[in-house]
Amino acid sequence: MKIVAGRGFSAGFSADTAKSIIINQETAKIIGGNDPVGRNFGFIPKKPGTVVGVVKNFNFQSLHLAIQPIALFLIGSKEFPEPGYIFVKVTPGALTETKIFIEKQLKELSPHYLNEVSVLSDQIKAVYSSDRKMVTVFIFSTVLAVILTCLGQYSLTSYTTKSRTREMAIRKVMGSQPSGIMALLLTEMVTMILVSLIFAWPIAYILMNKWLQNYAYHINTGTGVFLYSLFITILISFIAVSYYLIKLSRVNPAEIIRHE
């Protein structure tokens, strides 16, 4: 925690254990004033403590929530004479052994009380377990959607080129270049893509914004996401059209027209 005004708790100030308080920037904003250090503050009426420092805002809850006001007291102060939780900093390599040791010590200190010992990282993972599941669902859905898009574009291109094989052969005989035929097919494909996007983009924008409102911190949905989707879809169409044009270029147009 970074002190931005005043000082932190110190053994050199005996009053810290009784009435000194450190608040965060959000709390300082609520109580008002340019400099909250030295002001009376507390939760017990007629017995306020004194603000000795202000810490920079930090997240102490789920990131789904905005940073809330908080006040910090030393254990044993009149506000909180007894601790509700004890945090122990341990060496990562000896986590299991330390946890067993702490459980043993707590049982000796209070054998008739169930003291739950847990790892902070496990609690943090539990907070975001639903988000991780949602990420898995989103990734699977995205991959499935891309595969279906590729199959749909491939099938549509296959149907279009096969139904217009004679037309393209005649165009080739009349002197049209493969690039011109490709441009003709791509123009039709892009037109259909743009029509579909008229319906897809507004729905996607509304759904994404509604979902992002569940988070206190989130990105703004910009035009880049939609332009990327348009580019990828056109790229898939280009690859599909190119594949069939390459096959067509290897066939003698006279044979196609004679067969038709």
pLDDT at 4: 92
Instruction: Look at residue 57 in the predicted model and tell me its pLDDT.
Output: 93
- Tell me which residue has tokens 């270049």: 177
Residues present in the chain in total: 260
Give the side-chain half-sphere CA count within 13 A for 168.
25
Looking at residue 188, its pLDDT comes to: 76
**What CA–CA distance (Å, rounded) separates 30 from 120?**
30
pTM comes to: 0.61
Q: Are 67 and 20 in contact (CB under 8 A)?
A: no
Say what the pLDDT of residue 151 is.
Answer: 83
Quote the Cα angle for 100-101-105, to 5°. 120
C-alpha 155: how far from its chain's center? Answer: 34
pLDDT at 144: 93
Q: Which residue type, as a one-letter code, is found at position 201?
A: W
pLDDT at 253: 63
Count each helix (H run) and each strand (E run) in the chain, helices first.
8, 5
Fill in the amino acid letter for 57: N
pLDDT in tens, the chain (260 residues): 899 998 988 888 877 777 888 999 999 998 887 888 988 887 776 777 889 999 999 988 888 888 999 998 887 776 677 777 788 888 778 888 888 888 888 888 888 877 788 888 888 888 888 888 989 999 999 899 888 877 887 787 777 777 777 777 777 777 777 677 777 777 777 788 888 888 888 998 998 888 888 888 888 888 888 888 888 877 877 777 777 667 666 666 666 666 55
> Encoding tokens for residue 79?
């506000």
| pLDDT for the residue 25 | 93
Contact 153, 240 (CB under 8 A): yes
Q: What pLDDT is attached to residue 79?
A: 66
